[in-house]
Amino acid sequence: MGLFYLYTFIAALILTVIYTFLWQRRFDTNITFCFLMVPFINLAYYLMYSVKNADAVVFALKITYLGGVFLIWFIMLCVLNLCKLNVGKGFRLITFLINVVLYLSVLSIGVYPIFYKGIRVRRYGRTWQILKDYAFMHTVFYAVIVTEVLISFAALIYSLIRKKDVSRRVLNLLFIPLVASATGYFLNHLVFTKIDVMPLMYVISESVYILIVRRMVLYEVSDMVIETMVQSGDTGFINVGFDHAYLGSNETAKKIIPGLNDLAVDDRLTTPGRFDDNILKWIDHFESDEKNDRILYSRGDTDNDGSDEIYNVVVSYLYDGTEKRGYQIFLADDTQNQKYIRLIDQYNSELEEEVAAKTASLTNMHNKMVMGMAAMVEGRDNSTGGHIKRTSEVVRILIDEMAKDPSLKLSFKYCEDLIKASPMHDLGKIAVDDAILKKPGRYIPEEYEIMKTHAAKGAEIVHEILKDTDDEEFSQLAENVAHFHHERWDGNGYPDGLRGTDIPLEARIMAIADVYDALVSKRVYKEKLSFAEADRIIKENMGTQFDPGLYKYYAAARPRLEEYYGKPD
């Protein structure tokens, strides 16, 4: 008899070690507790019949009741959890407290007549014989076990009938530890008198739980992916075992392949024969060469408009850690992209020519319009002769230095657009009266206020000129240059009093170019300044009039600027 209990203890310990080796964070907590308790309980059975002290026998007996009180409870919670039946925290708390009270009554054995009215331990050959006189709480103990077993059976039967999202294989396996524990316990009290078979039943239960957790890993991986993919809602995914068993999918995949709606977890895809032309075909394609992991899948005329829905299918392995356990299939709607590719293939040459022609036409129109309008301004404003041409070159030199700085992330188009837009910065002067525009001296305050209106009016003119062009990015940039090139970094500029980075970058660059040209060029009301004097003024006004962040680019551009303005007219 002692060897029987010793062997069941060793078997339980080995199975717990195996479970520990397999353990992952996603494993059911109730199963983990079962594996932790069974070796101790089986050890208590061994000690109960092999110790030499009667008090130690009673102590070991109390330990064995952990199985009757708590293992059945853990098995019930495990069944409810794996059946995905949410019973709530209140149910777990109440049933736990009931079992705690039961075990406290067990601990009264030999002290108070609560669980046993009396107990006698006597030597019987080479082992011990325990004579028990049951009390009221022992009857309650039976009632609780029966209730928990019935709840577990009801949950399993309900899930087998009603729930498709729970593996039938796991449900069938869950019956085994439940039946083993319940049958072993009751038959032991009704039939066996010398050997308690419960340690063996616990070992059988552990063996089955090893199989369950190995299988559940597949569904846990599937569930984690499902939760992520369901949130996105635009990509379908299917998990399939190596045995072609269906492991799970999200709603998007079920819409793409409606036959998935009729499958329960663990159903074989080969059985209905409805997946030969899609899922099984994709898997075979992948198995023949793992590099063939991408396939186009077409669903014909799903919207009754004669068009196909085209999906990009990606097949890969389903991993449990580093172990391959099956296949993952992802389906992404690629209809529009494939239609676009087909269109490009069919009309590529024609479209390229048409786009090139339109681009050239627009570019030519912009250039002519810009230069024509700029020429009109210069024709009316005696003080700005050559100013537009020169400021455009200053902008080009500044933007060349800025384009060298990768942190600014200036696109090539942005740089080109700013250079093209710079001649438009003073177009608003067209709307200023000749008496003010052509005045040979400095303006009086009233005249200056009228002159300042050219910025806002210039923005309006640029907007009207470019509003029907396709290049909205260029239109907005040109409008900003005309509108805000007289704004100041400290907020004291015009027309809107913008401050700091609220001023568009293109206008901040234009402001430096505009002022630099005014300083080093002769005007009717002043002589031109030296390069050194102009540089001093620009530097002193960094942080007040100009963006201080642009100074390093201006400083780097200064040699080229002086070279440009140093050339004879």
| Confidence category of residue 524, pLDDT binned at 50, 70, 90 | low
The predicted-structure confidence for 194-229, as pLDDT tens digits, reads as follows 677 888 888 888 898 888 887 776 665 555 555 555
pLDDT of residue 175: 87
pLDDT of residue 98: 93
DSSP secondary structure of 160-197: HHH-SSS-HHHHHHHHHHHHHHHHHHHHHHHT-SS---
Examine the pLDDT at 356 and tell me if it is beyond 80. Answer: no
| Confidence category of residue 128, pLDDT binned at 50, 70, 90 | confident
Closest CA to 47 of 206, 196, 187, 180: 196
Examine the pLDDT at 302 and tell me if it is beyond 80. Answer: no
Highest average pLDDT, of 173-177, 441-445, 513-517, comes from 513-517
Question: Class assignment of domain 233-333?
Answer: alpha beta
The predicted-structure confidence for 375-411, as pLDDT tens digits, reads as follows 666 666 655 457 888 888 999 999 999 999 999 999 9
Q: Does domain 2-219 sit in CATH 1.20.1070.10?
A: yes
| Confidence category of residue 534, pLDDT binned at 50, 70, 90 | very high
Highest average pLDDT, of 117-131, 237-251, 435-449, comes from 237-251
Predicted TM-score (pTM) of this structure? 0.47
Residue type for position 425: H
Examine the pLDDT at 193 and tell me if it is beyond 70. Answer: no
Residue type for position 80: L
- Give φ, ψ of 554 to 5 degrees: -65, -45
pLDDT of residue 228: 56
pLDDT of residue 195: 74
| Segment 525-554 mean pLDDT | 92
Residues of the chain with CATH 3.30.450.20: 233-333
Assign 3-state DSSP to the chain and report helix, strand, coil percentages, each to 5. 65, 10, 25
Asked if 12 and 203 touch (Cβ cutoff 8 Å), the reply is yes
The predicted-structure confidence for 8-41, as pLDDT tens digits, reads as follows 899 999 999 998 888 877 778 888 888 888 898 8
The two three-digit tokens of residue 247, written as one number: 């492991």
pLDDT of residue 224: 54
Examine the pLDDT at 162 and tell me if it is beyond 60. Answer: yes
The predicted-structure confidence for 410-430, as pLDDT tens digits, reads as follows 999 999 999 988 888 888 888
pLDDT of residue 31: 87
pLDDT of residue 304: 46
Q: Please, what's the largest Cα pairwise distance for the chain?
A: 132
Residues of the chain with CATH 1.20.1070.10: 2-219
Highest average pLDDT, of 179-193, 366-380, 494-508, 510-524, comes from 494-508
Helix boundaries (H) for 467-502: 472-484
**Nearest-angstrom CA–CA distance, 202 and 182:** 11
| Segment 96-117 mean pLDDT | 91
Burial call 298-308: b when 16+ CB within 10 Å, e when fewer: eeeeeeeeeeb
Residues of the chain with CATH 1.10.3210.10: 362-566
Closest CA to 474 of 407, 416, 388: 416
pLDDT of residue 84: 85
Burial class (CB in 10 A: 0-12, 13-18, 19+), 501: exposed
Q: Does domain 362-566 sit in CATH 3.40.50.2000?
A: no
| Segment 541-550 mean pLDDT | 95
Examine the pLDDT at 541 and tell me if it is beyond 90. Answer: yes
| Confidence category of residue 53, pLDDT binned at 50, 70, 90 | confident
Examine the pLDDT at 365 and tell me if it is beyond 90. Answer: no
pLDDT of residue 349: 63
The two three-digit tokens of residue 258, written as one number: 């409606």
